[in-house]
Structure formats: C-alpha cells, structure tokens
A = this chain, B = another copy of it.
Amino acid sequence: MPCLAMDVRGVNVGGKGSTQYVVKGSQKEFPRELLEELKIICQDNISVDYDERYIHGKPQNSFHKAVNIPDVIVYPRSEEEVSKVVNLCNIHKVPIVPYGGATSIEGHTLSPHGGVCIDMSLMKTVKALHVDDMDVVVEPGIGWMELNEYLEPYGLFFPLDPGPGASIGGMCATRCSGSLAVRYGTMRDNVISLKVVLANGDIVKTASRARKSAAGYDLTRLMIGSEGTLGLITEVTLRLQKIPQHSVVAMCNFPSVKDAADVAIATMRSGVQVSRVELLDEVQVKAINIANGKNLPESPTLMFEFIGTEAYAREQTQIVRKIVSEHNGSDFVFAEEPEAKKELWKVRKEALWACFAMEPNLEAMISDVCVPLSHLGDLISRSKKELDASPLVCTVIAHAGDGNFHTVILFDPSQEEHRREAERLNQFMVHAALSLEGTCTGEHGVGTGKMKYLEEELGVEALRTMKKIKSVLDPNNIMNPGKLIPPHVCF
C-alpha cells in the first residue's frame, strides 16, 4: 500500500486546470508528472482548489470525521477518460476514490490517503432505454430520482429509493436498497449488467443484456457492494418495473413493537405481496408530531403499501387489515386517493427530517442492521431498552418486511461523551444483530464505519478470501483503499 499524504495542502494558482500546483507538507508529494498527465486527459475538468477538495473530502451525510482530503479532483466525461485516469494512478501508485452522490453514511467517499477523487457527476447520460425489455442503460452519475423522472412518461420506474441525491453508480457500489426492497429486491437483484474500469485500466463488461445467464463468474454481483475497492463503475444496465396501476397506503398502531413485528412476519407468511412495510417506534412518531404539528397516536406504528390492479391492491389491504386486528393492532386507516396517500406517506418520508426538526442543533448517527425476520421483534425490544435508557434521543425506523432496522441517534458531535454514547449504542445494536444471525449492515454498506464488525459476522476465512480477490485485481491497492476490508486481514 502506498503511504501517501496525510496532511496535503495544494496551493492552486490560477484556478481549475492550472499548472501551478504545489503540494506542501506531505509525507509524500503528489506526483507532479501525474497531475500534468491528468490535465491532458481531463482538460478543464480537473481541480486542485482547496475548497473543492475540502468539500469532496469531508463527509456531508455522515458522522465520520475526515482525517485527510483528496489531492486532486477529476470529473471524467467518458469511460475512456476514466480508464486512462485509473491506469495512470495505478502506474504512479496513487489512490483513487470514486465519488457519486456522496449520500453514503459510512465514510465511503473519505480520502484517508489523499489521492485522486473521481467525481462521476458529468457522466449521467441515459444511453439506451429498451421499453419492451423493461431495461435502461445509464452512466453512473445519474440520480435515481432523475432517472425516474425520465422514465415516467414510459410508464416505467426503477424501484429503489435510498436518500434523495444518491446516484445509480453509488447505489451499485454500496449494494443499496430502501423501502421497496421487500417487493423488488436490492441493487443486487436489479442490475442486469455493468461496465467497470479495473485498477489496470481494463474495461470489463460483466454480463450481456439477457435477463438470465449462467455464463461464468457473476462479476456483476462481485462489483455490486464492492464500494469502489475492486473497480470503478462506468455503465449500468438496470431492470425496470411497470408503474403500478393502483396502490393503497395503510397505517395502524400497536401496543408494543413486538406486536408490530409479529404482523410483519404474519404478512410475509400470508403470501401477500406488499410493496412496503415500514415500522416507526413511538419516539419517531412523537418527532413527527412535533415537526409537522400532527396528532398521531404516539405508539409503535406500521405503514404498508399495496400495489397491483385495483381489485388486487384492495384485496391485499383487507387481508392485512385482518392480520393486524388479530395482533392487537388498532386505528387501521388506508388511503387510495393520490393526495391522501401522499399525506400518509409524508409521515414516513419525512421521518429523518422530523428528527432534525425536533433537535435542530444535533447530528444523527444512523445505525443499520438486519436480522432474519423472526428475530426483528427481539432485536428491537432489546435495542429499545438500551436506547430508552440513554440520555441521547433515539428513534427507530425499520424496513420491517426485510428485518432491516435503523436507529437514528441524535448527538452533538462536538461533545466527546455524546459521540462516545452514540457509538456505544450503535455498537450495542450491531452486536445484538450479530448474536441474532444478522448482519452489521443491511443496506448502508461497510465503508470505514463497519469494517470492525465484519470478522465477527463472517469469520476471518471470508475476509481473507475478499482480501485475496482485492489483491489480485488491485495489486497496488489504489482502489478506494482503507474501506471495506479491515486493515488487519492478511493471507
């Protein structure tokens, strides 16, 4: 692993594309020759401006501290440019950090070793839409919300809904999902094929455009969730879905989180194909009441979405209504009219925002664990005992149909004891999930934040296997180093 700048400051005379770049105070200077070569490739789309590098180096959506910033930022316009940039960085053994929507929250876009940040925001073209095949070929910089705007006139949509601003490339890299995963699966299930630039600059096509294939190793899935540590995604072929003909949104309350979790289990076992099952605890509902001036019952709450034909969506609603009533549920309300549905979903959609509204001066540490569904009630009950006893305000939001559970822990990052307590709670939940056959991250990824839990979850043999794969595809360890594979793993 190259030991690069830990305290790099670039002095940029002449703005973007200047040749007056000087690196000061580095343990090892950023190679001037590489900078010149990058400028030839990227022309005006390169920056060594301190503020720009600072913004790219500082996590905007997470509690992780940045210990360094990138030395250079490039904004490639094509796969060919990406390949040339990566190949040059490999020759010079300089790290690269792929940069998408920067909405990830486990430190994926940090630049602990400086290097070249490759910002994909100029590559956001829809390259081909195949309406009959229900697939689309896009560049990685496009956002999922932009893509869905593009697709709407065709009656199609892409069914993953992480935070606003997330880009398709980043969503592939972190194996993201969201509230619709219970119906449509995660990023793993919705990507048909990728094009990826490897550390040596090779451009690899991972699969054909066929829906099914048994042709060789599943390089598509190997890249999805590899967080830029194996390759940089330059093209994505996505599976699309038809916009449902009809949908119903429903909400109901429970005396305990366990009752709510039991309904999630019974719903899944009934064969009803819900498109969303979201759980909010009473603290989260309270936050929503405060933020939105609402008067919702402050008790554990489930929200559902049912889709399909009108008759089917209604039939499902009634089946679940019955399940709810059998598990101490109450206040079952549902909506079919667009405005009423929007109003109901607002409750879930603005949950995180409501937390900040309740505590405007605090930051959020968001935990993300996932367990087999039968353990969800147990996990939430155990966690809530700990959360409720903490001096910090903590809310619970779960994609309950998948057993995926988030806690929003509100804390003041400037107060060391706040940070320690938030980290203790996060760690408590991860260990609880791991003791219940679960994972330390259901959808947010590993980044730098979850590395320390991987060995407990998967065992050292799995990590050694990952490290071997990384070492053979990226022998100089230039691809997003310091992420995903714990540093202590060797083989």
Contact = CB atoms under 8 A, between A and B. Distances in A.
Contacts of A219: 462, 465-466
Contacts of A234: none
A93 interface: no
B458 A465 contact: no
A208 B466 contact: no
Contact of A189 (B185, B372, B454): B185
Interface string A448-491: 00100110011101111110110111000000000011000000
A68 interface: no
Nearest to A404: B212
Contact of A216 (B189, B371, B446): B446
A91 interface: no
B225 A216 contact: yes
A213 B368 CA distance: 10
Interface string A256-271: 0000000001001111
A395 interface: no
B222 A446 contact: no
Interface string A218-249: 11011011100010000000000010110000
Interface in A405-453: 433-434, 437-446, 450, 453
A350 interface: no
A443 B133 CA distance: 19
Given A242-B270, A439-B213, A465-B202, A188 B225 contact: no
Nearest to A485: B216
Interface string A170-204: 00001111000100011011000000001000111
Given A134-B269, A315-B311, A461-B202, A371 B210 contact: yes
B208 A439 contact: yes
A46 interface: no
B271 A210 contact: no
A206 B439 contact: no
B462 A205 contact: yes
A35 B65 CA distance: 57
A402 interface: yes
A213 B441 contact: yes
B211 A372 contact: yes
Interface string A327-348: 0000000000000000000000
5 contacts: A181-B212, A205-B458, A210-B437, A214-B441, A468-B472
The 10 closest A-B pairs by CB, nearest first: A221-B221, A132-B374, A213-B439, A242-B271, A472-B472, A210-B370, A209-B437, A133-B372, A214-B445, A175-B214
Given A134-B268, A186-B212, A210-B403, 17 more contacts: A131-B269, A133-B372, A185-B185, A202-B461, A205-B458, A206-B458, A208-B457, A208-B458, A210-B370, A210-B442, A214-B225, A214-B444, A215-B457, A216-B458, A218-B222, A469-B472, A469-B473
